Structure 1
Amino acid sequence: MNLPRYRQRRLSRDSAGAIAYIQIEPEGEKINIVELFQTTAEQWFEFLVEEGLWVEQPPGEED
């Protein structure tokens, strides 16, 4: 997924709450921002694991 340089935030409300979207152009494709952030986080996690930079640490332990 290519990230747009210029973004607009659009909110659509339903009975469960609000869903945030971004668009490159006013009439362009709507991209769910929560899904975009989740996808980005998954890609970063995979990169860190592949590079050996991800280290599991039990809660409460510090370096």
Structure 2
Amino acid sequence: MLLHRGTLKRPTAENIAGYGLALCHLKAIFSSSGDDDFRDIFIAKNNEGLPKVTNANKYFI
């Protein structure tokens, strides 16, 4: 859905899916916890010290 709308690019969507997150999970996190926790999910570090999804500000504005 987000790919078709152009909201996310394929690599970002693959990163999200790779951590087992679906759109329903992202909506639930955002609605229950707000912007900060939503952003924390995206920028949390993986075992290589890189952001799990992305730290690109365009997804958080």
Larger Rg: 1
TM-score strictly above 0.5 = no
| TM-score, normalised with respect to structure 1 | 0.24
Which has the higher relative contact order, 1 or 2, with Cα contacts under 8 A spaced 6 or more apart?
2
Structure with the higher fraction of residues in helix conformation: 2
